């Protein structure tokens, strides 16, 4: 190290240089070197920092870096109607089309596409691969899928391929994206905050849900359930 050793503070020890005159936590050469090695990744820097702290008995300073957090706060409720019990309904680009009434369901393990959307995307039955495991519809009926199809789902700027199970049954939604899509994109969803978040390019992207559309879908489902009861009552009157 440069300088007259006799003029240096002998009580200050740098483990990196194995010399005196300054502490490890104040060693600019060390921190510059760490940033180069880790690409300024805060997690890696802090692991090395923790190790050095144990060895030197000191607590190295953290490198200040504004890293977005993949989570939700009260600010995420701004613009929403609270309290509510709405489903999380968003718009996604599936194939080459912007698709509305997409339900985000983290409790499901299957990504579902309903037949009306399948036809609306100009897809054909010959585009499907076999999938014959039965599913339960919104009307609590057992449904045999038409098949399965893999389509790109874009959540700007990220695109992931999703295997949709195509069913011909009633649903107030056009499709349901579930854990396979959530996990592939690294999505964290919140029905309370009516949005999903996912990491992309070193920052956090958001997709906002629509409470009004969610309520329209719920109303359509309720009306659909009431139709059989109305038909049965009319038949009795006859």
d(CA 168, CA 35): 55
The predicted structure's pLDDT at residue 27: 72
Position with higher pLDDT, 74 vs 232: 74
CB 69 within 8 A of CB 153: no
Domain housing 26: 5-56
Whether 87 and 179 map to the same domain: the answer is: yes
Q: Cα torsion at 66, 72, 76, 77 (round to 10°)?
A: -160
Q: Is 100 domain-assigned? A: yes
Q: Are residues 37 and 121 in the same domain?
A: no
* Res. 154: pLDDT tops 90: yes
Q: Residues 204, 68: contact at Cβ < 8 Å? A: yes
Q: Provide the CB-side half-sphere exposure for 193 (13 A, CA).
A: 17
Q: For the chain, what percent of residues have pLDDT higher than 90?
A: 52
E-state strands within 2-157? 13-14, 19-20, 89-94, 97-104, 111-114, 135-136, 142-143, 147-155
166 lies in a domain? Answer: yes
If asked whether residues 34 and 80 sit together in one domain, one would say no
CA separation for the pair 28, 19 (Å, rounded): 14
Q: Is residue 190 part of a domain?
A: yes
DSSP string, 102-131: EEE-TT-S-EEEEHHHHHHTT--GGG-B--
Least confident stretch, 52-56, 105-109, 205-209 = 52-56
236 is a domain residue: no
Would you call 174 helix, strand, or coil by DSSP? coil
One domain for residues 215 and 101: yes
Rounded to the nearest 10 degrees, what angle do helices 28-38 and 42-56 cross at?
140
Q: Do residues 96 and 163 both lie within one domain?
A: yes
Q: How confident is the model at residue 62 (pLDDT cuts 50, 70, 90)?
A: very low
- Are 114 and 217 members of one domain? yes
Residues 24 and 140 in one domain: no
User: How far is it, in rounded angstroms, from Cα 178 to Cα 111?
Assistant: 5
Least trusted range by pLDDT, from 7-21, 25-39, 71-85 = 25-39
Rounded CA separation 139/229 (Å) = 13
Give yes or no: residues 94 and 209 share one domain: yes
On whether the pTM is more than 0.75, the answer is no
* In-domain check, residue 64: no
Hey, what are 218's tokens?
A: 């719920």
> Contact at 8 Å (CB) between 31 and 52?
no
Interval 155-183: pLDDT, tens = 878 999 999 999 999 999 999 999 999 99
Confidence of residue 227 (pLDDT cuts 50, 70, 90): confident
Per-residue pLDDT at 23: 72
Of 24-38, 53-67, 142-156, 174-188, the poorest mean pLDDT is in 53-67
Number of domains the chain is built from = 2
For residues 69-88, give the mean pLDDT.
92
Q: How far apart are CA 78 and CA 173, in angstroms?
A: 25
In sequence order, which residues have a C-beta less than 8 Å from that of residue 225 and are 6 or more positions away? 139
Whether residue 233 is contained in a domain is answered as no
Q: Is 133 contained in some domain?
A: yes
Same domain, 109 and 203: yes
User: Are residues 106 and 42 located together in one domain of the fold?
Assistant: no
Query: Residue 46: pLDDT above 70?
Result: no
Choose among 38, 32, 36, 40: nearest CA to 16: 32
The CATH number assigned to the domain holding 142 equals: 2.40.70.10
Q: Give yes or no: residues 112 and 22 share one domain.
A: no
Whole-angstrom distance, CA of residue 90 vs CA of residue 208: 7
Q: Residue 151 pLDDT more than 90?
A: yes
Q: What is the mean pLDDT of the chain?
A: 80
Q: Is residue 80 part of a domain?
A: yes
Are 92 and 200 within one domain?
A: yes
């Amino acid at each position: 190290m440069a300088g007259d050793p006799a003029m240096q503070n002998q009580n200050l020890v740098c483990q990196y240089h194995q010399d005196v005159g300054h502490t490890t936590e104040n060693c600019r050469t060390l921190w510059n070197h760490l940033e180069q090695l880790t690409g300024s990744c805060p997690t890696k820097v802090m692991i090395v920092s923790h190790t050095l702290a144990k060895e030197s008995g000191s607590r190295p300073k953290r490198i200040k870096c504004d890293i977005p957090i993949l989570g939700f706060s009260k600010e995420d409720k701004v613009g929403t109607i609270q309290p509510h019990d709405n489903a999380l309904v968003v718009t996604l680009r599936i194939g080459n089309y912007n698709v509305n009434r997409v339900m985000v369901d983290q409790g499901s393990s299957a990504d579902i596409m309903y037949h009306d959307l399948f036809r609306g995307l100009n897809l054909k039955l010959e585009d499907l691969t076999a999938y014959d495991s039965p599913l339960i519809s919104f009307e609590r009926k057992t449904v045999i899928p038409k098949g399965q199809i893999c389509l790109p789902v874009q959540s700007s700027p990220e695109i992931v391929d999703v295997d949709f199970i195509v069913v011909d049954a009633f649903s107030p939604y056009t499709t349901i994206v579930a854990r396979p899509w959530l996990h592939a994109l690294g999505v964290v969803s919140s029905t309370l905050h009516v949005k999903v978040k996912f990491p992309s390019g070193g920052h956090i992207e958001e997709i906002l849900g629509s409470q009004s559309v969610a309520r329209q879908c719920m109303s359509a489902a309720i009306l659909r359930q009431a139709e059989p009861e109305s038909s049965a009552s009319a038949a009795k009157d006859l």
